[in-house]
Amino acid sequence: MQITPRDLDVDFSSVPRAWHNGNVIATGISNGLNMLFPHGERFFVRSVKHFLDRIDDPTLRAQIKGFFGQEGRHAKEHDNFNAILRQQGYEIDQFLERYSRLSMWIEKRTPPKLNLAITAAAEHFTAILAADTFTQPDFDRIDPRMRELFAWHAAEEIEHKSVAFDVLKTVDPSYALRIGGLVMATVLLGGFWIWGASTLLRQDGISLRKFFRAVRAGIKTDPKDDPIRKVFGGGILQYLRRDFHPSQNPNEKLAAEWFAARGMSLPEAA
Ligand SMILES: [Fe+2]
Ligand SMILES: [Fe+2]
């Protein structure tokens, strides 16, 4: 599979505050994730780049290059939307500063192989979230500019979902290392996401208690269709399988359909 970085041309300047179908809590949860992306994706790139000289396979090297291009563009567009959050009156810089300082501190003290394993697991989570983006029943009703941003990102996440995993397998195929990365990715993504979303929701007058109650209610209404449960439930169980590989999730069609509908280049066989 060839990996192609594509540019997104969307003007976010008039996106409303409650862009997620008027739902303040759903918007806060999505915006919380948006705040994590720029620093997180640059970490993914760094952790893979560290091992670039150990990769001899020309196909995987070409895929890594495409992965760097895609993640760099994602980080930039989510940075652009973070600027809109500021314009909407949210105070986000204290959070962004503390989040990036703490994650850099952790990254520097974590062995490079474990950083790579964290990236491989985080990419598994983002691929699940990506497939879920296209199948959420209310996805068609959210602000069209945000739909473009999240669908573009989701489609490319599906396209490069195996890259970090294949690099990890080449560098060190140890199951214990992969699971160590899964544990750390779960704790870090879960912790940072709750922190980011609650930072925004507090500014909308929504307490942590009310936020958790809403998340629990979402899980109760439709346990099978809840994205948080899909990632931290089914996603973890799947990743624990010794023979797991991201290609076992057949979600490429969702990405290909979205690219085709926009006349964007399709994933091609290498
Ligand atoms: Fe990304
Ligand atoms: Fe990614």
Per residue in 149-201, pLDDT (tens digit) is 999 999 999 999 999 999 999 999 999 999 999 999 999 999 999 999 999 99
Phi/psi of residue 160, nearest 5 degrees? -105, 20
Helix (H, G, I), strand (E, B) or coil at 2: strand
Q: Residue 139 above 70 pLDDT?
A: yes
Ligand 1 centroid vs 266 CA: distance in angstroms?
17
pLDDT, one tens digit per residue, over 38-60 is 999 999 999 999 999 999 999 99
Residues in Cβ contact with 21 at an 8 Å cutoff, skipping those fewer than 6 apart: 138, 141, 142
Residue 258 reports pLDDT greater than 60: yes
Mean pLDDT for the chain overall: 92
Pick from 65, 75, 10, 29: nearest CA to 189: 29
Evaluate whether 265 touches 155 at the Cβ level (below 8 Å): no
Tell me how far the alpha carbon of residue 141 lies from the centroid of ligand 1, in angstroms: 23
Q: Ligand 1 mean position to 57 CA, how many Å? A: 23
The reported pLDDT for the residue numbered 122 is 97
> Residue 11: its pLDDT value, please?
95
The whole-number pLDDT of residue 1 equals 76
Ligand having the closest approach to the CA of 124: 2
What does the pLDDT read at residue 225?
63
* Share of residues in the chain with pLDDT > 70 (%): 94
Ligand 1 centroid to Cα of residue 157, in Å, is 6
pLDDT for position 230: 72
pLDDT value for 270: 40
Distance 205 CA to ligand 1 centre (A): 30
- Summarize the confidence of residues 71-85 as an average pLDDT: 97
- Ligand 2 centre and the CA of 168: distance in Å? 14
- d(C-alpha 8, C-alpha 78), whole Å: 11
Find the 62 Cα to ligand 1 centroid distance in Å.
17
Least confident of 5-14, 199-208, 217-226: 217-226
Indicate the residue type of 240. L
Q: What is the mean pLDDT of residues 242-263?
A: 90
Question: What pLDDT score does 269 carry?
Answer: 45
**What's the CA-to-centroid distance between 21 and ligand 2, angstroms?**
26
**Residue whose tokens read 């999730």:** 249
